[in-house]
Amino acid sequence: MISTPGIYAITAEEYHLDVCPSPSLSASIIKSLVNESPLHAWTKHPRLNPNVEREEAKHFDIGTLSHALLLEGRDVAVVIQAENYRTKLAQEARDSARAAGKCPILAHELPEIEAMILAARLQIDAHAEASDAFTNGKPEQTIVWQEPNGVWCRCRPDWLHDSLDVIDDYKTGSGSMHPAQISRNMFRDGWPITAAWYLRGLRAVTGIDGVYRFVCQETYAPHALSIVGCDPATLALANDQVEWAIDEFGRCLSTGTWLGYAARIAYPELPTWEQERWLTAKQ
């Protein structure tokens, strides 16, 4: 249990079980509060819901494996000499690797993953403004702090620089990572909330106003990479959402009431595209 705000080296398992003195707020719970409801947040919280379903890693895709290898190094991988996991021997090797906190990799998957990591490193090294990404720092440290309303909070940056003023977040995907195409994923998946939350935690324990960078790479050849951030307007909106979530989480904790969707009839607006679709169809 961690009861003093600070930056800690703990395991991912410990982090996800929640190491704070009372049920704490994280980026994923904030997104659930903002985009769903307090009831959804309660359901997903490991300390609030006694029957919470832990998400087990049934497989590791290329992006997940690349993330582990780029940030944590080759030692995190266990190469399985098999074509697939259909045999009992391969399954046992896979499960043993996971139980040890390692990433199992089928031997034939390794060359593509290594090519992706090499492409990432080459493109980062050549970057005009962020060639220091994933250097001079440590991966997966846990930041713990307490808000003025008493709510305990936690976050786990992919990479925190030793200077404590830059956080790097590695994102991979099978879609385009061209800067002009990223905004759809950014807002759909709540990247700005993550950035605002992590920077808040960093400021709370260090007093430093840091910079948050998303290092975004495609999982298909040539594994192109771009580095993006949140503009002031985007961060301002995300900070407002974070402030609201802190207050809402504190209220729910103190009252023990976790409401679902609003108890009133809603009337979704007729979308323009549906009107246009019908006008075209009846011609």
> Which tens digit of pLDDT belongs to each residue from 209-232?
999 999 999 999 999 999 999 999
How many domains, in total, are found in the chain? 1
**Residue with more model confidence, 33 or 53:** 33
Question: Residues in the chain, how many?
Answer: 283
Quote the pLDDT of residue 129: 96
What is the rounded end-to-end Cα distance, in angstroms, of the chain?
Answer: 67
Spatial contact of 151 and 246, defined as CB atoms under 8 Å apart? yes
- Please provide the average confidence, as pLDDT, over all residues in the chain: 91
Residue 98 has pLDDT above 90, yes or no: no
Quote the pLDDT of residue 58: 45
Joined together, the tokens standing for residue 224 give 């192109």
- Look at residue 17 and tell me if it is in a domain: yes
- Look at residue 255 and tell me if it is in a domain: yes
- Give residue 107's Cα distance to chain centre: 27
- Look at residue 51 and tell me if it is in a domain: yes
* CA gap 39, 29 in Å, rounded: 11
> Which tens digit of pLDDT belongs to each residue from 251-281?
999 999 999 998 999 999 999 999 999 999 9
Quote the pLDDT of residue 264: 93
Percent of the chain's residues with pLDDT above 70:
96
* CA gap 3, 21 in Å, rounded: 6
Residue 59 has pLDDT above 50, yes or no: no
Spatial contact of 65 and 113, defined as CB atoms under 8 Å apart? yes
* CA gap 52, 48 in Å, rounded: 8
Joined together, the tokens standing for residue 240 give 């407002």
In the block, residue with structure tokens 């989480």: 249
* CA gap 150, 26 in Å, rounded: 14
The CB density around residue 203, as the number of other CB atoms within 10 Å, is 13
- Look at residue 202 and tell me if it is in a domain: yes
* CA gap 118, 179 in Å, rounded: 21
Q: Residue 150 belongs to what H/E stretch? A: none
By DSSP bridging, strand 103-106 and strand 77-80 are parallel
Percent of the chain's residues with pLDDT above 90:
70
- Look at residue 204 and tell me if it is in a domain: yes
- Look at residue 150 and tell me if it is in a domain: yes
The boundaries of the domain holding residue 200 are 6-56+127-281
Residue 12 has pLDDT above 90, yes or no: no
Sign of the Cα pseudo-torsion (236, 28, 11, 66, in order): negative
pTM of the model: 0.88
Quote the pLDDT of residue 269: 92
CATH of the domain at 173: 3.90.320.10
- Give residue 68's Cα distance to chain centre: 13
